[in-house]
């Protein structure tokens, strides 16, 4: 039984290739039974985000399984197999587990420490469970990874500090505008960058927000989501005197906001998210106008990225600790039947001796309860130390020797309980002193 992950991400493949490897929601649902049809795949789970597509699997024949998994991903997405070979990666066992832990902790994300990946991992696990493609091992592995990711974010500041232009802009406005909870901020544009900034403004607690777009009907959904007013750009220019800040994030290749649109003496913060610039830089000649452009924001983004990066060593140390828990659990997985048989044997002996004693002398119900409790406790205490030592032994060879010794000494492979106690003839082999 082997763990394997195969796929590609933003670290290995350009966006043009990742686009070809993307798999829609419907195709993902149909992919699950295909993954399990290879004959050698015991469990499988697909993690699909905008920056990665990966298949985790528990397999028997590694080479056959990897080929099957990669072909299934190609068939589902339509990407050419040679691109998967060129831009993909495949990891096994401990390396695969380390990779998943880094993904869960946000150390492998395009934005270091981002938190969305944890939700995506949970969704991937839930989807695999719904499709019955995960069992004991993958379920436990992903639960371990999720807990490791949570611990990294709790014990370090790797997810602190905004690292996108829009988020940094919103945070800056929340800091510099007095009484932000009652402030009015206008966002020009409803595209991806403008929308992300608007969402951040709302999460920062802005009092009132107006979203203006050349085609206001395209901003209606965003306005409804954020409880914001929606208007067109022409009307927005007439409202400039009523706001404390303007965020410009359109796709226009020209100045959307110029000298003629603003009034001197007004206390106004203007954020220009455009490249090329969408706000005439001469607006800073007007008294009271503060212009925040991408160069200013980029310096803050870089500062926050540096801060996050400073916690990677601590994050890696946490992941190493968490990885040991997973490896310890995985190493004992094969011992479960043996340990179960050992406990079952001792319990059968316990019950047999209680029954034998009860035939010699009647035992009351109260006495039986005491005997049951005491004898079970004795078994637990007798077996606890050897079982723990067996589980924590780091050397796989020694662990195997111990397991085989237990099995042989207690005849755990015997087909029936009675056969373990049949008197055997002494061996004809000579006995050596």
Q: Could you tell me if residue 353 is inside a domain? A: yes
**Segment 259-277 mean pLDDT:** 88
What integer pLDDT is reported at residue 275 of this predicted model?
77
105 vs 433, residue with greater confidence: 105
Please check whether residues 175 and 212 belong to one and the same domain. Answer: yes
H or E element that contains 33:
helix 25-35
Please check whether residues 238 and 173 belong to one and the same domain. Answer: yes
Lowest pLDDT segment from 147-151, 264-268, 333-337, 340-344: 333-337
> Does 191 score more than 50 pLDDT?
yes
What integer pLDDT is reported at residue 39 of this predicted model?
81
What integer pLDDT is reported at residue 172 of this predicted model?
93
Q: Could you tell me if residue 305 is inside a domain? A: no
**Nearest partner of 292 among 241, 243, 245, judged by Cα:** 245
- Domain CATH for 153: 3.30.460.30
pLDDT band (50, 70, 90) for residue 395? confident
Please check whether residues 146 and 128 belong to one and the same domain. Answer: yes
Please check whether residues 222 and 133 belong to one and the same domain. Answer: no
In whole angstroms, give the CA distance from residue 5 to residue 195: 35
Please check whether residues 260 and 319 belong to one and the same domain. Answer: no
pLDDT in tens, 116-141: 899 999 999 999 999 999 999 999 99
Is the bond preceding 93 in cis, omega lying within 30 degrees of 0? no
**Nearest partner of 59 among 44, 78, 77, 74, judged by Cα:** 44
In whole angstroms, give the CA distance from residue 273 to residue 197: 10
What integer pLDDT is reported at residue 431 of this predicted model?
40
For 9, other C-beta atoms within 10 Å of its C-beta total 22
Please check whether residues 150 and 274 belong to one and the same domain. Answer: no
Q: Could you tell me if residue 206 is inside a domain? A: yes
Q: Could you tell me if residue 397 is inside a domain? A: yes
Work out the percent of the chain whose per-residue pLDDT is above 90: 58
In whole angstroms, give the CA distance from residue 337 to residue 342: 9
Q: Could you tell me if residue 306 is inside a domain? A: no
What integer pLDDT is reported at residue 192 of this predicted model?
84
In whole angstroms, give the CA distance from residue 382 to residue 107: 44
Alpha carbon distance, N-terminus to C-terminus of the chain: 44
Q: Could you tell me if residue 176 is inside a domain? A: yes
Q: Could you tell me if residue 427 is inside a domain? A: no
Bridge-partner residues for 2, per DSSP? 59
What integer pLDDT is reported at residue 342 of this predicted model?
92
Pairing of strands 41-49, 52-59: antiparallel
Please check whether residues 14 and 133 belong to one and the same domain. Answer: yes
In whole angstroms, give the CA distance from residue 431 to residue 433: 7
CB 288 within 8 A of CB 265: yes
Please check whether residues 171 and 129 belong to one and the same domain. Answer: no
Q: Could you tell me if residue 433 is inside a domain? A: no
In whole angstroms, give the CA distance from residue 54 to residue 320: 22
Local structure of 116: helix, strand or coil: helix
Please check whether residues 96 and 117 belong to one and the same domain. Answer: yes
DSSP 258-320: -GGGS-TT--EEEEE--SS--B-GGGGGSTTEEEE-HHHHHHHHHHHHHHHHTTHHHHHHHHH
Please check whether residues 279 and 188 belong to one and the same domain. Answer: yes
Please check whether residues 288 and 320 belong to one and the same domain. Answer: no
Of 50, 55, 74, 204, which one is the catalytic site residue?
50
In whole angstroms, give the CA distance from residue 430 to residue 432: 6
Q: For 83-133, list the strands marked E by DSSP.
A: 89-92
**Segment 406-426 mean pLDDT:** 63
Among this protein's residues, is 74 annotated catalytic? no
> Does 413 score more than 80 pLDDT?
no
Tokens 């406990």 -> residue: 343
Lowest pLDDT segment from 194-208, 235-249, 385-399: 385-399
Please check whether residues 290 and 375 belong to one and the same domain. Answer: no
**Nearest partner of 69 among 98, 101, 37, judged by Cα:** 37
H or E element that contains 346:
helix 336-360
**Segment 242-262 mean pLDDT:** 90
| Owning domain of residue 374 | 334-421
Q: Domain count for the chain, please give it.
A: 3
Lowest pLDDT segment from 69-83, 92-106, 388-402: 388-402
């Amino acid at each position: 039984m082997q763990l394997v992950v195969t796929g590609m991400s933003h670290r290995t493949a350009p966006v043009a290739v990742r686009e070809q490897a993307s798999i829609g929601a419907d195709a993902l649902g149909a992919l699950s039974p295909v993954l399990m049809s290879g004959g050698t795949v015991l469990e499988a789970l697909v993690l699909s985000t905008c920056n990665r597509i990966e298949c985790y699997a528990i397999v028997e024949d590694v080479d056959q399984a990897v080929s099957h998994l990669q072909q299934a991903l190609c068939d589902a997405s339509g990407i050419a197999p040679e691109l998967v070979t060129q831009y993909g990666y495949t990891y096994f066992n401990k390396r695969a587990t380390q990779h998943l832990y880094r993904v869960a902790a946000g150390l492998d994300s395009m934005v270091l420490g981002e938190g969305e990946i944890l939700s995506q991992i949970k969704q991937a696990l839930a989807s695999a469970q719904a499709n019955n493609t995960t069992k004991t091992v993958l379920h436990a592995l992903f639960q371990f990874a999720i807990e490791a990711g949570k611990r990294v974010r709790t014990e370090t500041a790797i997810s602190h500090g905004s690292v996108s232009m829009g988020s940094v802009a919103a945070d800056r406005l929340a800091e510099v505008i007095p009484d932000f909870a009652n402030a009015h901020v206008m966002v020009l544009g409803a595209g991806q960058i403008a929308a992300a900034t608007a969402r951040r403004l709302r999460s920062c607690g802005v009092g009132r927000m107006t979203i203006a777009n050349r085609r206001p009907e395209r901003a209606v959904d965003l306005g409804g989501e954020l409880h914001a007013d929606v208007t067109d750009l022409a009307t927005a220019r007439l409202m400039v005197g009523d706001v404390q800040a303007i965020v410009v994030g359109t796709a226009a290749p020209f100045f959307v906001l110029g000298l003629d649109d603003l009034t001197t003496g007004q206390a106004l913060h203007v954020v220009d998210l455009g490249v090329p610039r969408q706000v005439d830089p001469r607006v800073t000649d007007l008294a009271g106008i503060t212009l925040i452009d991408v160069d200013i924001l980029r310096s803050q983004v870089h500062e926050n990225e540096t801060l996050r990066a400073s916690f990677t060593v601590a994050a890696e140390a946490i992941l190493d600790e968490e990885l040991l828990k997973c490896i310890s659990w995985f190493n004992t997985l094969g011992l479960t039947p043996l340990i179960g048989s050992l406990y079952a044997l001792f319990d059968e002996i316990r019950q047999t001796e209680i029954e034998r004693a009860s035939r010699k002398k009647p035992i009351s119900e109260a006495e039986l309860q005491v005997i049951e409790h005491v004898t079970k406790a004795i078994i637990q205490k007798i077996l606890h130390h050897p079982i723990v030592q067996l589980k924590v032994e780091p050397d796989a060879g020694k662990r195997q020797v111990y397991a085989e010794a237990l099995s042989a000494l207690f005849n755990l492979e015997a087909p029936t309980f009675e056969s373990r106690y049949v008197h055997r003839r002494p061996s004809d082999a000579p006995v050596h002193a």
